[in-house]
Amino acid sequence: MSAPDQLSLTLGPSFTVEVDDRFSPGLTGRHDRAYASPPQPRDEALTLAALLLDAGQDLDGVGPWQRALAGGRRTVRLVPASNGAAD
């Protein structure tokens, strides 16, 4: 990342991409796992979600979207990122 990129501001809402992989342990021996991305602009979050889903078309909305995995299922959704302010 270049210095100008580090100083850029994101205007508008930010989203976290949440990913949940669930497996049938008897079939794969793999364990369930989850990941939440750092907050990012909506267009970048949608691009990441499409990559995680191996989606050929543009995604719409905030999900959840699902895709079959060998022995399981991946669920991806966009969640509005908190602004860090106390509720």
Dihedral sign of CA atoms 19, 54, 14, 10 in order: positive
| pLDDT tens sequence across 43-63 | 999 999 999 999 977 898 999
Range 62-75 average pLDDT:
95
Band of pLDDT at residue 67, cut at 50, 70 and 90: very high
Q: Is 83 left (phi over 0), alpha (psi -120 to 50) or beta?
A: alpha
Positive or negative, the CA dihedral 51, 56, 60, 66 is negative
Q: Which amino acid is at 25?
A: P
The candidate with the shortest Cα–Cα distance to 48, out of 33, 5, 73, 39, is 39
